[in-house]
Amino acid sequence: MRSVLAFIAGLFFLASSTRNLLAADALRKLNVGYPSHSASMYPVYVTKEAKLFEKYGLDTQLIYVQGVQMVAVHVAGQLDVTTTSALVTLQSSLAGADLIFLANSIDMHLMKLIVHPSISATADLRGKSIAVTRFGSLTDLLIRPALSGWGLDPKKDVTLLQIGSQRDIATAISLKKVDAGVLSFPTSFFAEKTGLKALHDFGESGGEIPTTTVSISREWGRKNRDTVLRFLRAYTEGHKRLLTDRALAIRALKRYGGISDEEALNQTHDLFSTKIIRKVPAITTKSIENALKLLAESNPKAKDRKPSEFIDTSYMEELEKSGFIKSLWQ
C-alpha cells in the first residue's frame, strides 16, 4: 500500500514539476537594448513597468548599452530588439548591417545645444570645445551638420570631445571644462535650471525625424515573426498606457529614466504625453527619407538610397488589419 501511495505521490510531483516547467517556458525570452537614461525611451519604460511584455508572453530584459555601442552589440547578435534614434542605426545599415525599422514613437529631435552663459551666438563657438557622448552617436550626428550650417568646420573650427554620459556633459559645461555640449531632455532641462543656456534647439528644425525607433535584424525577424508581433503588441499598448495612465507613466520614468525630481517628472510627462509621443508608433517612409538626407550631408553612402530598403511596415500593418490597434482605443 505504501508503495502505491508513494507511486501516486510521485505522479503528482511529476505533474506539478511539468506544469512549472511549462509555465516557465511559456514566456519567450527577449533582450531589448536602449542607449540612454533619457525620456526619449519613455514608451519602452512604460511597457516594462506595466508588465505588458508578460501579458503578451514575453520575458523581456531591458539592457542599457551606451549610445552607438548598442547598435554594434545588436549586430553581434547579443540583442533581439533595439530602441534608438534612426540616425544611429542607419549608419550601421548603410555600412551593410542587416537592421531594419519596424516602428517609431517620436518624430522630432529632443536635443539642445547647451552652452556656458558666456557664449551668446553660434559664431562664438569658433575655437571652442563641444562635447558629445560618443563619436557616431546621435549627439555627434546632429552637431556636425549644424556647425557646417553655421559656417563652422567641425574638424577645424571647433574641438569635438566624446565625454560619455549626458550628465557628465552637463557637469563638464558647468565646470567650464568644455564650452558646450549636446544634451537630450530631461538633462537639458536640469542644465538650464542651473544657469546654463540653450543656444540651439534641434527640435525646432522642422521635418519628421525618426527619433525613437524599434529595429531588428531582417533575418531574426523572418525566424521569429510571432515574437516580433508580440513585442509590438506590448509596445503599442505601452503607448496607450503612457498617454492615459499618468501615475503609471511617471512611476516608469522615475524607475528607468533616472529622474527623481518631482517637478521634472511631472513636466516631462505633461510634455511627452501632449506633444511628443505618437499615439500609434508606425514608421513612415518620409521620416526615414529625412534621416537619409541628413546623413547624406556627411556620409556619401546615404545618397540615393531609398527608405524602403530600411523599413518593414508589414508588422504594424498586420496589427492594424487585425483590429488590434483599434481595439486599444475603443
Ranges of each domain in the chain: 25-107+209-328, 111-205
Element spanning 298, H or E: none
Are the C-beta atoms of residues 50 and 241 closer than 8 Å to each other? Answer: yes
Q: State residue 11's pLDDT score.
A: 43
Rounded Cα gap, residues 129 and 133, in angstroms: 13
Q: Look at domain 25-107+209-328 and name its CATH class.
A: alpha beta
Q: Tell me whether strands 213-217 and 99-104 are parallel, antiparallel or unpaired.
A: antiparallel
Q: State residue 25's pLDDT score.
A: 52
Rounded Cα gap, residues 266 and 253, in angstroms: 10
> Where on the phi/psi map is residue 19: left (φ > 0), alpha (ψ -120 to 50), or beta?
alpha
Q: State residue 20's pLDDT score.
A: 41
Q: State residue 206's pLDDT score.
A: 66
Q: State residue 138's pLDDT score.
A: 82
DSSP state of 50: T
Q: State residue 38's pLDDT score.
A: 82
From first to last of its 330 residues, what are the pLDDT tens digits of the chain? 444 444 444 444 444 443 443 344 589 999 999 988 888 899 999 999 999 999 999 999 999 997 778 888 999 999 999 999 888 899 899 999 999 999 999 998 888 999 999 999 999 999 999 999 888 888 888 899 899 999 999 999 999 999 988 889 999 999 999 999 999 888 888 899 899 999 999 888 767 889 999 999 999 999 999 999 999 999 999 999 999 999 999 999 999 987 888 988 999 999 999 989 999 999 999 999 999 988 888 889 999 899 999 999 999 999 999 999 999 998
Q: Say if 25-107+209-328 and 111-205 have the same CATH topology.
A: yes
All three cell numbers of 105 = 514613437
Q: State residue 239's pLDDT score.
A: 98
Q: Look at domain 111-205 and name its CATH class.
A: alpha beta
Are the C-beta atoms of residues 96 and 128 closer than 8 Å to each other? Answer: no
Query: Which residue in the block uniquely carries the three cell numbers 563652422?
Result: 152
Is the C-alpha dihedral spanning 269, 251, 198, 302 positive or negative?
negative
